[in-house]
Amino acid sequence: MKILHTADWHIGKKLDNFSRMEEQRLVLNEICEIADKEEVDAIVVAGDLFDNFNPSSEATELLYSTLHCLSANGSRAVIAIAGNHDSPERIQVPDALAKVCGIIFVGFPYAEIKPFRTQAGLEVIKSDKGFIEIKLPNSAVPLRILHTPYANEQRLKTFLGLEDSEENLRTHLQKHWQELAEKYLDDQGFNLLVTHLYVMKKGDPAPEEEPDEERPILHVGGAQAIYTENFPEQIHYIALGHLHRYHRVDKIPAPSVYASSPLAYSFSEANQTKYVILLDAEAGSLNNYRAIELTRGKKLRRGKFDSIDEAIIWLKEHSEDLVELTIVSDNYLEAADKKRLTEAHSGLVQIIPQIKKIEEEESASTVDLSLSMESLFQEYFKSKNKGQQPSDGLLNVFREVLGAEE
């Protein structure tokens, strides 16, 4: 069988005030094309389907239409779990209609999917809390899936009966997964675990840079990361969602992989390549897996310049991208310069002024009242801005105020 692993669609997400909906439409259509071209049997979406708990009708329509396309009228299994940005209640709302198309939504921890069969022959033949076994129309090998959506602190207490403890979550999930593995998993099928949690190899460093809005999940319900050693040995592949970059966490007990988001959603992801993962599997083993690059959607780029003219040249060279620009200068950015930059590029998301630090001798603690009013203002400005001189524009405004008072 062939399985496609994707995650972190974040449908409806904006970059500041820039809508990404059209880009999302393009890249999700690209994923559908890959599924058709590779003739996959199942698709796993590892959480963060939407970007917030109350998605727009446009975002909702795009999710359902994409999953329907991936399902190929019920001949492919589509398993989509909730992430930390999703409302689990909302994810499970279309459950009855989705099953007709072979789409399985999992919103809550310990969700139990009732067995069903599509007209195309896809069938859930076994089910338990956190587990399903699927008979696929074009494969003689059953697909077994252990599914664990994201659970916040309250859900951990409600569904798992946990109190805040670093080891409690790890211990509980390891026990839960192991019990399911011993009960249902053998080498007569392909065994996959899908989850939306922060996973790392014990002893490895945490990732250096992730999107700001994703960092809180590093401490799920008061617990630290799940370690790869917590997964059962019977698993053949671990499909992860949450981190937005492609990353193989570990290969033991099985490849545990973050597929990446389909688009770069933060400038901390600038210049990242985005992927979906294609698995080639058989009974009892994963033959291989490979990352397929996603090419649609705008690139995010960061630029840093000392000159406005150089920045404008660079902006025109990357006119199709979304851009964060840092301008290094001795003075604060003038309104006229900011206008030149914004007019040069329609996708300029942020302009960050970076003032050079000027080392000044420590000024005397007393104020020299013999100085002119303008000189006193300059000294005051420097004292409040690490020795930085006020710009000519600011001095001109000060002179106008001073002249009006006189």
Per-residue pLDDT reduced to its tens digit, 77-100: 999 999 999 999 998 887 778 999
User: What is the distance in angstroms between the CA of the first residue and the CA of the last residue of the chain?
Assistant: 85
The alpha-carbon radius of gyration of the chain (Å, integer) is 27
What's the average model confidence in pLDDT over 39-50?
97
What DSSP string describes 299-366? PEEEEEES-HHHHHHHHHHTTTSEEEEEEEESSPPPHHHHHHHHHH-TTEEEEEEEEPP---PPPPSS
- Dihedral, 174, 177, 178, 179 alpha carbons, nearest 10: 120
The answer to whether 279 and 5 are in contact (CB under 8 A) is yes
Name the CATH architecture for the domain at 2-294. 4-Layer Sandwich (3.60)
pLDDT at residue 323 tops 90: yes
pLDDT at residue 154 tops 70: no
Query: How sure is the predictor about 332, in pLDDT bands with cuts at 50, 70 and 90?
Result: confident
Q: Is the whole-model pTM more than 0.85?
A: no
Give the pLDDT confidence of 102-135 residue by residue, as tens digits: 999 999 988 999 999 999 999 999 999 999 999 9
pLDDT given at position 29: 98
Chain position carrying tokens 């959607």: 297
> E strands along 89-221, which residues?
103-106, 123-128, 131-135, 143-148, 190-195, 199-200
Average pLDDT in the chain: 88
d(CA 235, CA 186): 9
Query: Of the segments 155-164, 166-175, 292-301, 361-370, which one has the largest average pLDDT value?
Result: 292-301
3-state class of 381 per DSSP? Answer: helix
The answer to whether 45 and 80 are in contact (CB under 8 A) is yes
Strand partners of residue 301: 323
Which H/E stretch holds residue 97? helix 95-100
pLDDT given at position 22: 96
Longest dimension (CA), the chain: 93
Residue spans of the domains in the chain: they are: 2-294, 299-356, 366-406
The answer for residues whose C-beta is within 8 angstroms of residue 64's C-beta and 6 or more apart is 94
Phi, psi for 233 (deg, rounded to 5) = -70, -20
Give the pLDDT confidence of 238-253 residue by residue, as tens digits: 999 999 999 999 999 9
pLDDT given at position 95: 73
pLDDT at residue 176 tops 70: yes
